[in-house]
């Protein structure tokens, strides 16, 4: 079951180790995960027992822009369309129906998101970024 909902503290306890090991957020502290969730629109996939098995969030102004991030699925549940379903749930949320620009970044799941309409940036020369060193350290191997 996939729903847009705020994660509980127990959900954060499960989500944090997953994100701490992810290539995009190595070593992220639990309090940073909790704060990011509190300030985003979150989608959660749960198994038949209600346990968290997948997660995604949208950083958004709920009017014109949304950045989809932290799409992550428990390894045993990958390959079942849950990532796409989580993003679809965010895109279908009533508060986001006027969003004009949806963005996300991925190292290896371009095909997953292409089915939802995502593609290469049309004018990359218009975009700029600042990347600051991580405020947290990589987890020990």
**According to the model, what pLDDT value does residue 137 have?**
67
At the second CATH level, the architecture of 2-112 is 3-Layer(aba) Sandwich (3.40)
Q: Where are the domains of the chain?
A: 2-112
Is-contact 55 42, C-beta < 8 A?
Answer: yes
- Pairing mode, strands 101-104 and 65-73: parallel
Which stretches of 41-123 are DSSP H helices?
Answer: 82-92, 110-114
**According to the model, what pLDDT value does residue 141 have?**
53
DSSP symbol at 62: S
**According to the model, what pLDDT value does residue 2 have?**
96
Is-contact 13 58, C-beta < 8 A?
Answer: no
**According to the model, what pLDDT value does residue 138 have?**
59
**Residue ranges, the chain, pLDDT below 70:** 134, 137-141
pTM of the model: 0.90
């Amino acid at each position: 079951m996939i729903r847009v909902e705020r994660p509980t503290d127990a959900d954060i306890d499960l989500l944090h180790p997953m994100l701490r090991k992810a290539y995009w957020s190595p070593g992220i502290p639990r309090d940073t995960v909790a704060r990011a969730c509190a300030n985003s629109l979150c989608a959660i996939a749960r198994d038949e027992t209600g346990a968290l098995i997948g997660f995604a969030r949208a950083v958004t102004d709920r009017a014109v822009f949304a950045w989809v991030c932290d799409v992550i699925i428990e390894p045993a549940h990958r390959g079942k369309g849950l990532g796409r379903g989580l993003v679809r749930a965010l895109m279908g949320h009533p508060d986001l129906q006027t969003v004009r620009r949806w963005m996300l970044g991925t190292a290896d799941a371009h095909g997953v998101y292409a089915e939802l309409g995502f593609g290469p940036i049309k004018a990359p020369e218009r975009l700029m970024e600042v990347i600051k060193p991580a405020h947290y350290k990589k987890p020990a191997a």
